[in-house]
A and B are shown apart, each in its own frame.
Chain A
């Protein structure tokens, strides 16, 4: 005989009475277990995924924007840059864009320049990329000032001969890095050798094994002024956006002066859109006009499948951890319902004796188990949305390559609630069924 409406009516009637009659502390403990299970399901996976999402967001917001233009394969710069920039200025969908000009640079600290006096002594230096930017455009596009750890951003009017240095180039932020500088702080001077890096050393006079201060300050130049230039460190930044933190940032005209590119072409252009969802459309429009001259990608294209693969693996890890929690919760519910049903087996027999159907009795126990899942999910979701999400948004977990956030979606949470319900349903049904199927008279006699 199929389950009837009356079975649900009596089942729910009994459930409400079981809840009312249950020990409050026991109920609170079970709800607590369900809340922990729910949070385990959502938070662990959400944090793991949040590491990758944080990295993605970091790359998009602090490095490459919604659409990214770079040099085509085999080219060194973005062709027809000036035409592209003119087009971008006229596109209402584009909030801002930042052309960047890059060149290789060798960085040497002031101490090393002055203290190393012997030609045979190796001078400590690091090789990096110098990125030339328009500070205002970059600020509008990637909000670079927000990534400053020390010092200050370029001033709107000047800031020539000043650089921002990526934290990954500094020993104190990257203690295990092989190619790092030590003792460099905002206000310090460093020497840069832009373009042609990898040539014949630093260009100091091999006849003179001393590099005099005089030589560097304008006297007989042991190190050519055009080769080794003195810059003041204005700030230290950390974007956690891949290789960007291994760069030196300066005014674009200084890079262009040291590494002139025909046609004044940029090496890349980051574009910020008013609606990030329109990235594909904007990309396609730009491709139709400039696809022959530049590589034009959305942020997803630019990042490629790598982060997506990591995200899938992290999601899987989160699911495994969640599944273990779910199994624990299922066993807990199973034991609770089993013990409850067994301890009430005589009353179950009496209910059957007076004509209450086994369906109704099973429903009463399943609903009883599900009530824990309902309350656990509600409390858990409240904690999740009103406490944990705001907390992790305000205090991201500082991973080396991203700011880990708690990444959850309504669909994901709904799915996890559904999983919890299914597990609870099964965990409630099995013990209830086992006890209810006993003949009434056996149950009455105990």
Chain B
């Protein structure tokens, strides 16, 4: 692992996600493109990690591997103390539901669902009643200043509002790790600032955050910054 550390000194924290000798390749015709080249890396509980680097260096691919959204070509991903390689598709889905939250660059809200319905989905999937899920979603949306937007559809929200709903959906079930893939890429600087502030607030509350960003200005604000270069950690 090679990472530039900033901020507080770590005291033996539980490892939330660990990758070992992680390789991910894609085949393009006759060519094999190696996007991740044997990465060893771990994220401890409570960390706020920014993964940064130039475009095409494998930042998002690494996050998708850690978030169990994709499977590596070789190497291992450990979540908690489980080897993700031995999990079935449904076990990986269940793990994501119970322990991970995701924020995507374009908010990735379901267009047919109102703000609260988007946020309530993970809660419903965990078995809560619709009433309880709605209540929980409303509390989180309220926390992000979206109380008057809970019944709006995604196309009725501004970019910043959409991303706040997306973050609300990602944390409504109190995941162990929040993965954010370029959460500010589609926002102007003011809206971006708001999102980063929300991440700081969540981190202060103990939320583990892994944020992919190509904007060094925001990456620097993380506790730990991982710079990627050509499929490896620089």
Q: A residues engaging B (CB < 8 A)? A: 1, 5-6, 9-10, 13-14, 17-18, 20-21, 346-347, 350-358, 360, 439-441, 444
- On chain B, the number of residues with a Cβ less than 8 Å from chain A's Cβ atoms is 33
- Most B CB contacts (10 A, CB to CB) among A5, A21, A353 go to A353
Contact with A along B107-132 (1 / 0, CB 8 A): 01011110001000110111100100
* CB pair B97 A355 closer than 8 Å: yes
* CB pair B90 A9 closer than 8 Å: no
Q: A1-B90, A444-B104 are in contact. Are A356 and B111 (CB under 8 A)?
A: no
Residues of A contacting B174 in the complex (Cβ-Cβ under 8 angstroms): none
Residues of A contacting B104 in the complex (Cβ-Cβ under 8 angstroms): 350, 444
Least CB distance, B168 to chain A, in whole angstroms: 12
* CB pair B69 A6 closer than 8 Å: no
Q: A440-B69, A444-B108 are in contact. Are A353 and B124 (CB under 8 A)?
A: no
Residues of B contacting A355 in the complex (Cβ-Cβ under 8 angstroms): 93-94, 96-98, 100, 122, 125
* CB pair A354 B124 closer than 8 Å: no
User: With contacts A6-B125, A9-B124, A357-B94 known, what are 19 further pairs, Cβ within 8 A?
Assistant: A1-B90, A1-B91, A5-B127, A10-B121, A17-B113, A347-B108, A347-B111, A352-B93, A353-B102, A353-B108, A354-B121, A355-B93, A355-B97, A355-B122, A356-B93, A357-B93, A357-B97, A357-B125, A444-B104
- Most B CB contacts (10 A, CB to CB) among A1, A347, A440 go to A440
Residues of B contacting A354 in the complex (Cβ-Cβ under 8 angstroms): 96-97, 101-102, 121-122, 169-170
Residues of B contacting A444 in the complex (Cβ-Cβ under 8 angstroms): 69, 104, 108
Interface residue B89 (Cβ < 8 Å from any Cβ of A): yes
* CB pair A13 B130 closer than 8 Å: yes
Chain B residue with minimal CB distance to A440? Answer: B69
| Contact among A5, A346, A441 for B70, CB-based, below 8 A | A441
Q: A354-B96, A355-B96, A358-B93 are in contact. Are A10 and B69 (CB under 8 A)?
A: no
Residues of B contacting A10 in the complex (Cβ-Cβ under 8 angstroms): 121, 124-125
Residues of A contacting B69 in the complex (Cβ-Cβ under 8 angstroms): 353, 440-441, 444
Interface residue B64 (Cβ < 8 Å from any Cβ of A): yes
Least CB distance, A229 to chain B, in whole angstroms: 85
The 4 A-B residue pairs with the shortest CB-CB distance in the complex, in nearest-first order: A355-B97, A21-B112, A441-B70, A1-B90
Residues of B contacting A21 in the complex (Cβ-Cβ under 8 angstroms): 111-112
- Rounded to whole angstroms, the CA-CA distance of A18 and B89 in the bound complex is 25
Residues of A contacting B126 in the complex (Cβ-Cβ under 8 angstroms): 6
* CB pair A439 B70 closer than 8 Å: yes
- Rounded to whole angstroms, the CA-CA distance of A13 and B116 in the bound complex is 13
Residues of B contacting A9 in the complex (Cβ-Cβ under 8 angstroms): 124, 127, 130
Within B29-78, the residues touching A (CB, 8 Å) are 64, 67, 69-71
Least CB distance, B210 to chain A, in whole angstroms: 14
- Rounded to whole angstroms, the CA-CA distance of A6 and B121 in the bound complex is 11
Q: A18-B112, A444-B108 are in contact. Are A351 and B102 (CB under 8 A)?
A: no
